[in-house]
Amino acid sequence: MTPDQLRDAVVALGQKPFVAKQLAQWLYEKRETDPGKMSNLPAALREKLAAQPLLTSRVIEADDSGEGTTKLAIRLHDGPIIECVLMREENEDGSARLTACISTQAGCAMGCTFCASGMLGLKRNLTAGEILEQFYHIDALLKKDGLSWLTNVVVMGMGEPLHNFDNLMQALTILNADWGFKFGARRITVSTVGLPDKIRELAKQGMQFNLAISLHATSDKQRTKLIPTNVATGLANIIEAAADYFSETKREVTFEYTLVGGENDSAADARRLAELLRGFPRANVNLIPMNPVEGSGLIAPTTQAVEEFTRILKQAGVNVHVRKKRGRAVQAACGQLRLRLEQQF
């Protein structure tokens, strides 16, 4: 809830309006969900808050890769399962880099052929509260490990974030606000399959999020094969919207490119990608060697193909990074853990 919504809620429970600020400090700044520990709240309010859990979801499985990545499967109150991920890394200066990857939908309607998130279709959007609850579950992991609060957030889990725009913006506003989690917008990355109108709407929000666009192809024919919804958008429109986003926000745009063996990982693909992004201001390319998804019929690229693709992009002056393979032991592809658990029931 926003401050105004919290104020209305506590007044409806018979409390003074100023109590809302105290409650917000407990919920957001201190990330406390046990009303019994909210010591400066009136006893009557604590009793009412304790009558039902403040978190509506629960962790049903936590898979640890042994290399710093923990994936949580979370069951929502009405049954669907979502995923979120905690990635623990070390920066060059030795400081901890703690990144949360969160979901915005239960399932996904985009139908990307290399992704497990949409294999069971879209069940529903998450509420703003359900998006934020993932942070409480991840915070519990951090506390267990004796680690401090997160340094980065990527909205890159299950679902298409811009397909759930209003709830996403309410959650990110609370995450960013001084009265909320106080998490800097420049440390938040919103990832999208590429919805041009929504990209432009995001740019108008006045918040300096980083933007990541799942490109994954160098022609519309190729992209529509991998991402069926591309038929309604097209590469040129997506890249134009990305340029508009940069123009409005001056924030970095990253183009995600999942390398699929024999599909989009050739030297010719690399040259077309470099040409496609020629002249784009401050663009980064993040190459992601595909994690195999059972039933997709797609395969991972060879090490040689990844290295050659990278070499060609660098030679063309493209700022490129290859994402380190992490968590294959925990079914690292988006939605794989959730897919397995859903199929058990």
90 is catalytic: no
As a whole number of Å, the CA-based R_g of the chain is 21
Amino acid at position 140, single letter: A
95 within 8 A of 89, measured Cβ to Cβ = no
The H or E element containing residue 71 is strand 69-75
Catalytic position from the list 83, 160, 263, 342:
83
**Looking at 84, 101, 112, 334, which residue is catalytic?**
334
Query: Residues 285-319, buried b or exposed e (16+ Cβ, 10 A)?
Result: bbbbbbbebeebebebbeeebbebbbebbeeeebe
CA angle 251, 175, 179 (to 5 degrees): 115
Q: What are phi and psi of 322, to 5 degrees?
A: -105, 120
Rounded to whole angstroms, the Cα distance separating 42 from 62 reads: 36
Q: Say which residues have a Cβ less than 8 Å from residue 265's Cβ, sequence separation at least 6.
A: 259, 301, 305, 306, 309
Active site (annotated) includes residue 334 = yes
The size of the chain, in residues, is 345
**Distance (Å, whole) CA 83 – CA 72:** 6
Long-range contacts of 193-197 (CB under 8 A, 24+ apart): 193/110, 193/112, 193/160, 193/227, 193/229, 194/230, 194/233, 194/238, 194/241, 195/160, 195/162, 195/163, 195/233, 196/233, 196/237, 196/238, 196/240, 196/241, 197/241
Alpha helices in 26-181, H assignment, sequence order: 43-50, 128-144, 165-176
Provide the 3-class DSSP secondary structure of residue 59: strand
Catalytic machinery residues: 83, 334
